[in-house]
Structure 1
């Protein structure tokens, strides 16, 4: 295998990044672009050997990094952000080639957010404190101590942004990191390794091992030296990771699947509600937070469906490198098969495709809206992770809440209503980590993020990230007992 490949004019190293050096493997796996099915290159395929080496490098680097001052850690994270900003165009085109998401979104939103992730947690670190408090004359002082090497396992739908959402707070906290990027989208993680090296991040503080989770996952998550594991992905994989981590009582943060509802009440701004619903096709439906279950109050259901169909007809699906494109391909033939399987089984069970319901050429799936679906049906209960929405109706507020909460998930929910009091009543009853009212996908890194039920364990963001990546220590000091050394 060659050590480097060229992707849209950008040189990308195909090897792992371990202990500040590039490390090859005996085997490789093939990285394929979902845009046209072309082979991008052969990527180093990690084994338990490379995984163990990466964890060992993180362990070795941890004492010095943990002892590094907050100010210096923050400075280095800002230097990484500077490097990201200098290479936004390169990162954008490489990630679009690798995962098929829109180039314009990568340029204008996603890659700038990558830089922001580093800047936010660098700045937050410098303000992290808890006011001392008194207990019967004794002083309590809270510290956030670095916990240790952290294993971060990240998904393919927003590879670099979601990786740095974990990397940045882990490094800011004083932990060292082993990143395992998704095997379908490894390329921008490799570019990030170059950026961190150029920024001066010490060797071993960030390590990247590429490959299949089935081959290297257990070696990463079962090592007793690993003190934190953060994973974004599927529920079955999370269960395997949890079992692996249990032997060492390694704390976990899990952000998992979703089957989120969009509740549209008759008093809502209907055009806004339709816009919110059509927005759920973003990134070809490959968004964990997507409100894929549209629940519409009965009196407006017909008009909502008419306007939705009209709005969705204007979606431009095609090459994500084209500025005019609204949604691109799905990530992999296996995922496309999964999406179509869900849809065809639903139709066979009596669902009606108002729009879509079929594949298109290549790895593209037509934006789909299914009606006449039962609440207990597979298509309503299970995450599809593609451009597939269902529409159900309700007649009362209580029924709407009941339908919204009636899945095993609880990641997010969206409510469209013109009644502020109703919004308060409904959001108070929804089981979700994030609820949007008359908006969607407004996220602030200060806010807690995570899911309820099978949508996850724990919260990250702001102080919650540091609470997870650190060992909190309370020191209680008596007012007396000091000797005079004067």
Structure 2
């Protein structure tokens, strides 16, 4: 076995970068630590500006041939990648659970199947991508989507492979080449994806994977003049640095950032449904950008809602995410745990009451927490915690509900529970959010636009919106008949 190979539950993983169809080592490494028990999984090659330049050069060299590859062939290869993912779902699931602490059962049943679906969906959408020709004073307008060039895709640690392939799949389908930079806290499944893509016949240089710290390799990637698209999912401060870096080259950006999403419960709602889905906001230890972390409940039912919520939340089991009986695993990193606890302790010191939770468990586990008696302008209501921490506020009417819901700098998602369809229509029309769910949560279709408003992001991806971003959209206008043969 190579010195650059580590094993997780019997799965061999190469810790080197994947550049131009070859494994490339670095002189330095960084430790990859499992949040489950704090053990070091292995040392990962730590990229610098040198690896960034090599990866972009490989993507640039591979671009002309991949861009010229017929749509049907690109789609065939993407389906082959999906086949490879499906053959290795169990391996991918256990590796990612070990790496980021999310539930193994979720990876097996939902997350990894979605990874394969990402490739299949965008392969099929590519084959149907078209805009009907239209006439202007007898001239024909024809809209086409031309591949843009090398793309840098920077992905987060909370759903590493699923969110990476949400970007990789449409970029490859569009005819672009890719440099993928996974989060340093969860890099392993990106390395496995490189293997799967190569086995599926993806040409060398079309997908490159580089690992490392954002300050050392990320800046070199986002400021590179040969990069034609940057897509990033992560925090607002990092997005601002990326935007500054990309500005010198006017590189187009797609940014999916933080959330502080409201979950509104009106008195006429199905309270059992509302409670069940409110408790679901603790999924993935609260490390979900779309989570409805601000519970806004009409005063008339607030006491009953809270009673049922506490009863339901008390049944959650927290522990080793590899155990099928566990509902909540650990938080990703000691630094993230410190951040979560800091938010909670400052809120309590300011007068908030912890109805449940409010403290750490052993290791990197934080108890599911619900805070009441919080002010709208307080830090705990205004800032993203990204942990298993919810707040509960009450409202008296629709006007106050909408005011509270829209009362942050974010606008990623919102959830509304009501038994009145007219109210649902009125309220959702006024909510500032990229996605609104009514009497449901986390129903996602890849053909729908996805993104945020305000500080929750820039741009939309999904379906044709993804191709609009990853391509240069061209309109060709042709004059009416009158062609002449000059031969």
Structure 1 residues 214-237: Cα deviation after superposition (integer angstroms, max 9, x where no partner): 111111001111000000000000
CA distance in 1, matches of 2:277, 2:268: 15
Partner residue, 2:27: 26
Partner residue, 2:188: 187
Matches within 5 A, 1:55-94: 55-94=56-95
CA distance in 2, matches of 1:338, 1:198: 41
Is 1:465 matched up with 2:469? no
Partner residue, 1:432: 433
| Deviation (angstroms), 1:481 | 3.6
Question: Does the residue aligned with 2:42 lie in a helix, a strand or coil?
Answer: strand
Partner residue, 1:456: 457
Question: Does the residue aligned with 1:189 lie in a helix, a strand or coil?
Answer: helix
| Deviation (angstroms), 1:127 | 0.3
Partner residue, 2:123: 122
Partner residue, 1:302: 303
CA distance in 1, matches of 2:196, 2:106: 21
Question: Does the residue aligned with 2:132 lie in a helix, a strand or coil?
Answer: coil
Partner residue, 1:223: 224
Partner residue, 2:292: 291
Unaligned runs of 5+ in 1: none
Matches within 5 A, 1:34-183: 34-183=35-184
4+ residue segments displaced more than 3 Å: none
Partner residue, 1:410: 411
Partner residue, 1:273: 274
CA distance in 2, matches of 1:308, 1:96: 28
Question: Does the residue aligned with 1:156 lie in a helix, a strand or coil?
Answer: coil
Partner residue, 1:17: 18
CA distance in 2, matches of 1:218, 1:268: 48
CA distance in 1, matches of 2:478, 2:301: 64
Q: Which moved more, 1:189-198 or 1:472-481?
A: 472-481
Matches within 5 A, 1:359-378: 359-378=360-379
CA distance in 2, matches of 1:214, 1:291: 31
| Deviation (angstroms), 1:485 | 7.1
CA distance in 2, matches of 1:348, 1:368: 15
Question: Does the residue aligned with 2:255 lie in a helix, a strand or coil?
Answer: strand
| Deviation (angstroms), 1:2 | 2.1
RMSD of the alignment, in Å?
0.8
| Deviation (angstroms), 1:93 | 0.3
Partner residue, 1:319: 320
Structure 1 residues 109-145: Cα deviation after superposition (integer angstroms, max 9, x where no partner): 0000000000000000000000110001101001100
| Deviation (angstroms), 1:8 | 1.0
| Deviation (angstroms), 1:432 | 0.1
Structure 1 residues 299-326: Cα deviation after superposition (integer angstroms, max 9, x where no partner): 1111100000000000011100000000
Partner residue, 1:401: 402
CA distance in 1, matches of 2:273, 2:88: 36
Partner residue, 2:444: 443
| Deviation (angstroms), 1:480 | 3.4
Question: Does the residue aligned with 1:224 lie in a helix, a strand or coil?
Answer: coil
Structure 1 residues 459-485: Cα deviation after superposition (integer angstroms, max 9, x where no partner): 000000000000001000001341147
Structure 1 residues 317-349: Cα deviation after superposition (integer angstroms, max 9, x where no partner): 110000000010000000000000000000000
Is 1:352 matched up with 2:353? yes
Unaligned runs of 5+ in 2: none
CA distance in 2, matches of 1:221, 1:63: 21
Partner residue, 1:483: 484
CA distance in 2, matches of 1:411, 1:189: 26
State how many pairs are aligned: 486
CA distance in 2, matches of 1:477, 1:307: 65
CA distance in 1, matches of 2:436, 2:475: 33
CA distance in 2, matches of 1:433, 1:2: 46
CA distance in 2, matches of 1:218, 1:378: 30
CA distance in 2, matches of 1:155, 1:327: 19
CA distance in 1, matches of 2:306, 2:480: 69
CA distance in 2, matches of 1:377, 1:485: 74
Question: Does the residue aligned with 2:437 lie in a helix, a strand or coil?
Answer: strand
Partner residue, 2:332: 331
Question: Does the residue aligned with 2:416 lie in a helix, a strand or coil?
Answer: strand
CA distance in 2, matches of 1:235, 1:297: 31
Partner residue, 1:384: 385
CA distance in 2, matches of 1:282, 1:449: 20
Is 1:342 matched up with 2:351? no
Question: Does the residue aligned with 1:401 lie in a helix, a strand or coil?
Answer: helix
Question: Does the residue aligned with 1:385 lie in a helix, a strand or coil?
Answer: coil
CA distance in 2, matches of 1:31, 1:223: 27
| Deviation (angstroms), 1:270 | 0.5
| Deviation (angstroms), 1:101 | 0.3
CA distance in 2, matches of 1:62, 1:121: 19
CA distance in 2, matches of 1:373, 1:109: 35
Structure 1 residues 366-413: Cα deviation after superposition (integer angstroms, max 9, x where no partner): 000000000000000000000000000000100000000000000000
